[in-house]
């Protein structure tokens, strides 16, 4: 099956990136971390053998993203709206392009084991949705497979008669309208500790089969950053783990202070 890995990223800007972390460590360090996570994430996942898409925001940052992504990623501008609207638009676009198994990632989990992405795609051969639960109550990974259950759900929601019959979506100008949202993207308290719970409830309601990855962590607060520092030190001493040159440069600076 045609597989596509989509990484969602927002261009780091002072005062707008990692705002919770910025409140605790300052906007300058939070901005530096956001840049490091973006670059290290793109560097790590470029080796995977899937079609790779960098879904970027804002649209005006295309030039900056092109410079850091190189030729390994296709660039796609995200739509406006909350995370649910953006995920839905990207999912339908990928299905329209002929890719049946889609995995979404962000840039907040720089140490995420690469084999878990392979595991997500493997699970999608058997289930409709794969989730990688995050310790903060959200998820670090979401995978969706174009399946008969999805088609039935689309028909029930009447999102698009064309989409329901042939999986070719309309122009997506209604993606931000909650009345036409796919259930896993509708009425979710994005950014809260309820995202995972609410999403699973939607899957149960519509009978979508779920595959689960191991729990992992995002880095959104100073406590998360402290844990990441300890985790990277442990990985280095054990002689395992990913190479994160940009993040580890910041870690070295923090150790010198």
Domains, the chain: 3-256 (3.90.550.10)
Helix (H), strand (E) at residue 83: helix 83-96
pTM: 0.90
* Contacts (Cβ under 8 Å, ≥6 apart) of 201: none
Query: Do 143 and 104 meet the contact criterion of CB atoms below 8 Å apart?
Result: yes
Q: How far apart are CA 216 and CA 139, in angstroms?
A: 8
pLDDT recorded at residue 148? 86
Query: Do 2 and 99 meet the contact criterion of CB atoms below 8 Å apart?
Result: yes
Tens digit of pLDDT per residue, the chain (257 long)?
699 999 999 999 987 778 888 888 888 888 999 999 999 999 999 999 999 999 999 999 999 999 999 899 999 999 999 999 999 999 999 999 999 999 999 999 999 999 999 999 999 999 999 999 999 999 999 999 998 888 777 777 765 444 444 444 443 444 445 457 888 999 999 999 999 999 999 999 989 999 999 999 999 998 999 999 999 999 999 998 788 999 999 888 766 65
pLDDT recorded at residue 164? 42
Q: Where are the beta strands (DSSP E) in 149-255?
A: 210-212
Q: How far apart are CA 153 and CA 148, in angstroms?
A: 9
pLDDT recorded at residue 176? 45
Of 96, 64, 91, 61, which is closest to residue 77 (Cα–Cα)? 61
Cα angle 243, 248, 251 (rounded to 5 degrees) comes to 155
pLDDT recorded at residue 170? 45
pLDDT recorded at residue 90? 96
pLDDT recorded at residue 174? 41
DSSP for residue 214:
P
């Amino acid at each position: 099956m045609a597989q596509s890995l989509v990484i969602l990223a927002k261009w780091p800007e002072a005062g707008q990136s990692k705002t919770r972390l910025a409140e605790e460590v300052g906007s300058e360090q939070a901005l530096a971390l956001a840049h490091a996570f973006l670059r290290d994430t793109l560097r790590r996942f470029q080796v995977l053998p899937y079609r790779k898409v960098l879904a970027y925001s804002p649209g005006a940052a295309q030039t900056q993203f092109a410079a850091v992504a190189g030729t390994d990623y296709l660039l796609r501008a995200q739509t406006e709206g909350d995370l649910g609207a953006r995920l839905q638009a990207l999912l339908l676009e990928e299905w329209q392009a002929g890719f049946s198994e889609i995995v979404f990632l962000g840039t907040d989990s720089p140490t995420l084991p690469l084999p878990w992405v392979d595991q997500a795609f493997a699970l999608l051969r058997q289930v409709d949705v794969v989730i990688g639960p995050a310790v903060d109550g959200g998820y670090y990974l979401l995978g969706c497979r174009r399946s008969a259950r999805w088609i039935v759900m689309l028909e029930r929601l009447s999102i698009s008669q064309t989409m329901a019959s042939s999986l070719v979506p309309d122009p997506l100008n209604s993606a931000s309208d909650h009345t036409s949202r796919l259930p896993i993207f509708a009425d979710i308290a994005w950014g809260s500790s309820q995202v995972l719970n609410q999403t699973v409830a939607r899957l149960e309601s519509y009978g979508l089969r779920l595959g689960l990855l191991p729990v992992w962590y995002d880095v959104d607060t100073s406590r998360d950053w402290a844990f990441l520092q300890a985790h990277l030190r442990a990985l280095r001493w054990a002689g395992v783990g990913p190479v994160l040159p940009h993040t580890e440069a910041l870690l070295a600076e923090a150790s010198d202070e």
